[in-house]
Amino acid sequence: MSARQVIVLVVAAVAAIGALFLIRGIGAHPQSQSAQAAPAIVGEQVLVAARNVQEGAAITPSDLAVALFPQASVAPQFVRLSSQPSAQADFVGAVTRRAFVQGEPITTDAVVKPDGHGFLAAQLTPGYRAVALDIQQKTAVGGFIQPNDHVDVIVTTRSEGHSDTGPQQQTHSAIVLQDIRVLAMGDKTQGQTTGDHPETSDAAVAVLEVTPDDARTLEMARAMGDVSLALRGVQAETVSLRTGPHNHGGIEQEAGTVRVHAFGVVVGGGR
């Protein structure tokens, strides 16, 4: 082999080795940049829903999980494992006051522990009372009212009147309570969440969540006449309607008496 051939082979070998190192450097450089651009997340581990949980459900161990949240995203209501390491066990058996979706943080104001009290008592909003109301399908939207729906309460009274043709029965109807939450229908405390069509209920009792004053109003309405429920939609009412929570309607209490504002008057009607 001539000296010229040896030189050519040496140059080729050096070029191949240089190209190999160059390719390795190009491949490793983006990875290094990527590692520098994505530093480890600094945050806190918080308690979250491991799956969708319905409102009014008793939390089970499989409903809870732990997730890492950035420090800036951790709200005061979140359950932090740094301050409550046994949170996954502590919240088992608590009752949800609203629905949670999978991955959503559990908040202290949205769950309540029964602490020996009844299940329904744990669902009550602080300051409110549960009142049972006898109903029939014809007075409860045909049975389509579900737990956690909101309703208006209507009272219908009948009295004897007179006209040119003689005695006539008059019927008065008034909305006495508005935007009242339904806690239970019969023995059901959770509404329908699945299915291809709405279910009906043949419950004979509706349990309503009311303030103490509203509870008195409801009892007066029941003593005055027939009480029925009107189902409210989930969308916000228009500004022309009264949308405040638990607004009093057509019953007013004055000096121990009850006055009904006529919502509509029918002359000559019967039961």
Sequence letter at residue 61: P
- pLDDT of 147 strictly over 80: yes
What is the Rg, in whole angstroms, of the alpha carbon atoms belonging to the chain?
34
Q: Identify which of 271, 228, 270 has the alpha carbon closest to the alpha carbon of residue 249.
A: 228
Per-position DSSP letters for 122-186, written without gaps between them:
HHSPTT-EEEEEE--GGGTGGGT--TT-EEEEEEEEEEEEEETTEEEEEEEEEEEEEEEEEEEET
Strands 150-163 and 257-260: unpaired
Lowest mean pLDDT among 3-17, 157-171, 209-223: 3-17
Q: Say how far apart CA 48 and CA 225 lie, in whole Å.
A: 48
| pLDDT single digits (tens) 166-211 | 777 788 889 999 999 998 888 777 766 666 677 777 788 999 999 9
101, pLDDT greater than 90: yes
Q: What is the separation of C-alpha 65 from the centre of its chain, rounded to a whole number of angstroms?
A: 20
Question: What pLDDT is stored for residue 151 in this prediction?
Answer: 92
Cβ atoms 218, 251 nearer than 8 A: no
In the chain the beta strands, taken as DSSP E runs, fall at 43-49, 64-70, 95-96, 111-112, 129-134, 150-163, 166-185, 205-210, 226-231, 251-254, 257-260, 265-267
Does residue 253 register a pLDDT over 50?
no
* Rounded Cα–Cα distance for residues 248 and 36 (Å): 62
Q: Which residues of the chain does CATH 3.90.1210.10 include?
A: 43-122
Residue 89's pLDDT band, with cuts at 50, 70 and 90, is very high
Mean pLDDT of 221-249: 67
Q: What are φ and ψ of residue 138, in 5° steps? A: -70, -20
pLDDT by residue (tens digit) across 113-146?
776 566 777 778 888 999 999 888 777 777 788 8
Residue 69's SS3 state is strand
The SS3 call for residue 85 is: coil
pLDDT at res. 136: 82
Measured between its terminal Cα atoms, the distance across the chain in Å is: 123
What is the reported pLDDT for 269? 42
Of 232, 209, 212, nearest to 154 by C-alpha is 232
Phi/psi of residue 268, each to 5°? 85, 10
pLDDT in tens, 6-42: 565 666 666 667 666 666 666 555 555 555 666 666 7
96 and 111 Cβ atoms separated by less than 8 Å: yes
Share of the chain above pLDDT 70, in %: 66
Question: What are the phi and psi torsion angles at 115 (to 5°)?
Answer: 50, 45
Q: What is the pLDDT of residue 155?
A: 92
pLDDT for residue 230 is more than 70: yes
Max mean pLDDT among 75-89, 137-151, 153-167, 227-241 falls in 75-89
* pLDDT score of 212: 93
CATH entry 2.40.50.140 includes domain 43-122: no
Average pLDDT over residues 214-229: 91
Give 36-65 pLDDT, tens digit per residue: 666 666 789 999 999 999 877 889 999 999
